Amino acid sequence: MKRKQLGIIFTLLALILCVGVLAAKLNTGGLNDPTDLSQVLSTENINTTKENGKVADNKGEKAALSQQEGFYQSKSLREQHDSSTVQNLKAIIDDSNTSKERKEDATKELTQKTMNTDNEGRIELNVKNKGYEDVLCTLDSNKATVIVKSQDQLAEKDSVAIQEIVQNVSKIKDVIIQVEK
């Protein structure tokens, strides 16, 4: 019986070691963030065209990269603004000199901000799953703005699908959809 237990323990240790080595190899590739995968693939495509002797149109590549940076910058600015707003609201809530009414208002506002941030992320993910390259969503109290990165104009069925996603997630009916190439 002791021999059987020893065999099981060594087998489990070997499996743990194999999984650890596999995880280390996968993580060194820099693919920890799934949103970075598209950037890695586009970089590989640029490198393969240069290796094959084809001269790619640099203006087109620069425009595509600047548009990617535009979406990235917009998301980054939104996250910074949301973070500072959340910090300010938490400071108001934690301050002992703040009135009870102001704390309740700040708590409600913080809850609403958190819900909007969650809904924006869910909407972006759902719209991106429809096959679009990138999506940026901003929610106000009664209006939603969705910016979609697409090479083609949206068909009516696509815009209706995006509006349904926004309505299902956030219950906002006033949806503005913009297309950027």
DSSP 47-69: HHHHHTT----HHHHHHHHHHHH
How many whole angstroms separate alpha carbon 157 and alpha carbon 74? 27
Q: Is the pTM higher than 0.85?
A: no
- Beta-carbon contacts of 73 under 8 Å, excluding residues fewer than 6 positions away, are none
Check residue 129 and give its pLDDT: 87
C-alpha 93: how far from chain center = 29
How many whole angstroms separate alpha carbon 63 and alpha carbon 42? 13
Check residue 1 and give its pLDDT: 66
Check residue 35 and give its pLDDT: 47
Check residue 149 and give its pLDDT: 85
Check residue 47 and give its pLDDT: 47
Task: Read off the tokens for 59.
Answer: 């203006």
Q: Mean pLDDT of residues grouped by 10 in the chain (181 residues)? A: 84 85 68 47 47 47 56 84 88 86 90 89 88 86 86 85 89 87 76
Check residue 152 and give its pLDDT: 80
How many whole angstroms separate alpha carbon 101 and alpha carbon 103? 5
The CATH number for 69-180, chosen from 1.10.287.4300, 1.10.490.10, 1.10.300.10, 3.30.420.40, is: 1.10.287.4300
Check residue 28 and give its pLDDT: 64
Nearest residue to 82 via CA among 50, 43, 110, 41: 110
